Structure 1
Amino acid sequence: MSGRRSWRRVLRVVLTVAFVAAVVGGVALALRGQQWSTLGRLLRPETIPWLLGALLVTSVGLLCGTRAWLLTLAAVGSPVPTGAGIQMFFVGFLGKFVPGRLWGLLAQIRLGEKAGVSRARMAGTYLVNLVVVLLTGGAVGLLVAPAVLDSGLAWLVLPVALLVVLAGWPGVIDTLVGLAARVTRRPRPAALDRPADVRRSIAWQSLSWVLSGAHLWIVAVLLGADARAALPVAVGAFALATTAGTLALFAPDGAGVREVTLVAALATVLPLPAAVTAAIASRVLTTLAEVLTAAVALAAVSIRDRRRAAVPDRTRAATTAHRPAHPPTRRPAEPEARLTPTPG
């Protein structure tokens, strides 16, 4: 039995190292071929605080996306402790850097089983979350429409209307999840168990898109864009480009697809060379924020779990130390004296 446990431990370590190596390779592949020389016009002493702020706001946006995923997991009827949910989310999230993104999903399913969530529930969570991400990303992405299509501000009503429909009638997501299951040839998950959590998930994911896109707005303004005109363009372009990259399963983290979409949108508020610089800076900033946030979150959960596991051990040791080695022996109770009547 001990030999089998040791082999399992070794296999777990090997798989973890292989997954980390694959993620590192995917990150390197996503950053490969970038025109690093163009970033020189952006990296100046006075811009460093603003770039750090862009990095921070991207991390906060990612944490909002984490909250949206946890609510999605609860919506399909499988709420888990926050620590386990964070671990499941970020392991699956880092899998997007691996081509095909299959390995991250498999690791997420494995962690789900460890937390007591069945494979069917995890697959359902994946589909529901995918629909929420794509729909909210497409809705927020419509913010770029007035600049790209050179039309009136009436386009801005569409994202708000779409999000209101999704929040008011979560059954729409149920229908789309069934369609996604049919397209991906996966079993259709059960109906949503908590519609209210779906509404909250939509709100958190929409906030995630806005905060994550704010970093691109900061970069565009540093490169000379008008702050007022660039805000809806940057936020909408980032949501639209990331959504398009999510659908490009062949590219690690949508490399190439996202940049083309960003440049096309940013060219409406920046000269083309500056738009290219902004797209490259966005790739670098978001990759750094995602890797650092995931590493900090996973490390924090691991440290907390170790501390919690150590507390019962210390308590048990303290109890054993105060327990006497030989418990005192009880003397048998003497029989009670009974008064018996005397004859005569």
Structure 2
Amino acid sequence: MMGRRRAWRAALTAVFVAAVLGGVTLTLRGQQWSTLGRLLRPDTAGWLLAALLVTGVGLLCGMRAWTLTLASVGAVVPPRTGVRMFFVGFLGKFVPGRVWGLLAQLRLGDAAGVSRGRMAGTYLVNLVVVLLTGGAVGLLVAPAVLGTGTGLAWLLLPVALLVVLAIRPRVLDLLVRLAARVARRPRPAPLHRPAEVRHAIAWQSLSWVLSGVHLWIVAVLLGADAGAALPAAVGAFALATTAGTVALFVPDGAGVREVLVVAALSTVLPLPAAVTAAVASRVLSTLAEALTAGLALLAVAASERLATSGNPATPSAGPDPRLTPTPG
């Protein structure tokens, strides 16, 4: 029985990995590689490597924000478990439909003793945090695209909502219940540790800023003024990625993100250069995300093997004994 269960797990893991690799391959294959010739020069190699690294660090900040939202709904898990749950779900974004990553997280939650209600609550809380912080950081691009004036005041809504959540995190319960009702999902568990929402907002905002720096590096390499390009690039990446997140049936927001990036960067670059920057951003961010997720999961697996080999009494299968089931 155990052998059959392990075989099913191995088969499902192989299918998931193959689907993710297929999604990443399709994403990269569909890019206009001929436009990247302006960037791929010997003198830009160090800058492009820096762009990869800063994107990876931004993703790690996003992981920290997700684990804090998990804790906010009352499910505190060991660090290795949290890393695996986040990155497995994150890699699911490369598979059309996005639901596969959520299903994988639910399965890992079951194994860790975290109820599906709490996992669903984590998904909704994190979604609200991601969308609001992405919209707030995305406001950086508004003056370049729309110009200055009183007409920009209505764009401050995401910032206002973030301030409200930082002061009264329990307001998030209302937003999550509304999201669950719209999505026709069961009502999730209420927040158990509201203060963690404040920390999640801070980490996710930092994630957006760091992740957007890679687009700024690319824009500067293509000739943009560094000062003018910084808010345009960081804001464009946050806003475009947030819009791509809402486009559920497009793998990783393909196409949606590029249109918004080109529109924003065309304020600091000629249109052909803005197109090149959008293509380079897609390639760099995809490579950085796949490499960071893969290395993080390999590090977790290696750490668990070392822990098991160092303590032969530790069982090799089953949930982590430090985990406490979270009913409800």
Normalising by structure 2, what TM-score? Answer: 0.92
In 2 relative to 1, CA 167–154 (structure 1 residues): closer, same or farther, beyond 3 Å? farther
Whole-angstrom distance in 2 between the partners of 1:97 and 1:314: 38
Q: 2:114 aligns with which of 88, 109, 117?
A: 117
- Give the corresponding residue for 1:321: none
Whole-angstrom distance in 2 between the partners of 1:83 and 1:253: 25
Deviations 1:161-207 (A, max 9, x none): 55333311213322211111011111121221111100000000000
Q: Is the 8 A contact 2:243 2:256 kept in 1?
A: yes
Amino acid at match of 2:276: T
- Give the corresponding residue for 2:230: 231
Q: How does 1:33-182 map to 2 (within 5 A)?
A: 33-152=30-149, 158=156, 161-182=160-181
Q: Is the 8 A contact 2:55 2:288 kept in 1?
A: yes
Amino acid at match of 1:67: R
Shift of 1:126: 0.5
- Give the corresponding residue for 1:208: 207
Higher RCO (C-alpha under 8 Å, 6+ residues apart): 2
Q: Is the 8 A contact 1:97 1:252 kept in 2?
A: yes
Q: Secondary structure at the match of 2:312?
A: helix
Q: Is the 8 A contact 1:241 1:257 kept in 2?
A: yes
Q: Is the 8 A contact 2:92 2:98 kept in 1?
A: yes
Larger radius of gyration: 1
Shift of 1:30: 1.9
1:262 counterpart = 2:253? no
Q: Is the 8 A contact 2:308 2:314 kept in 1?
A: no
- Give the corresponding residue for 1:194: 193
Q: Is the 8 A contact 1:88 1:112 kept in 2?
A: yes
Whole-angstrom distance in 2 between the partners of 1:79 and 1:152: 46
Tell me whether 160-169 or 52-61 shows the greater mean CA deviation.
160-169
Taking every aligned residue pair, what percent have the same amino acid on both sides? 75
Whole-angstrom distance in 1 between the partners of 2:259 and 2:64: 29
Q: Is the 8 A contact 1:91 1:108 kept in 2?
A: yes
Tell me whether 167-176 or 44-53 shows the greater mean CA deviation.
167-176
Whole-angstrom distance in 2 between the partners of 1:161 and 1:254: 26
Q: Is the 8 A contact 2:61 2:203 kept in 1?
A: yes
Whole-angstrom distance in 2 between the partners of 1:130 and 1:310: 38
Q: Secondary structure at the match of 1:313?
A: coil
Shift of 1:153: 9.6
Shift of 1:314: 7.7
Shift of 1:262: 0.5
Amino acid at match of 1:110: R
Whole-angstrom distance in 2 between the partners of 1:293 and 1:153: 42
Shift of 1:154: 9.4
In 2 relative to 1, CA 108–144 (structure 1 residues): closer, same or farther, beyond 3 Å? same
Q: CA RMSD in A?
A: 1.8
Q: Is the 8 A contact 1:65 1:204 kept in 2?
A: yes
Whole-angstrom distance in 1 between the partners of 2:116 and 2:198: 24
Structure 2 residues not aligned, in runs of 5+: 316-328
Deviations 1:33-78 (A, max 9, x none): 2111010001111111001001000000000000000000000000
Q: Is the 8 A contact 2:232 2:265 kept in 1?
A: yes
Whole-angstrom distance in 1 between the partners of 2:253 and 2:259: 10
Whole-angstrom distance in 2 between the partners of 1:168 and 1:120: 26
Deviations 1:146-170 (A, max 9, x none): 0110115995993655533331121
Amino acid at match of 2:168: W
Whole-angstrom distance in 2 between the partners of 1:128 and 1:59: 23
Normalising by structure 1, what TM-score? Answer: 0.88
Q: Is the 8 A contact 1:139 1:162 kept in 2?
A: no
Whole-angstrom distance in 2 between the partners of 1:50 and 1:150: 30
- Give the corresponding residue for 1:17: 14
Deviations 1:226-285 (A, max 9, x none): 111111110110000000000111110000111011111111111000000000000001
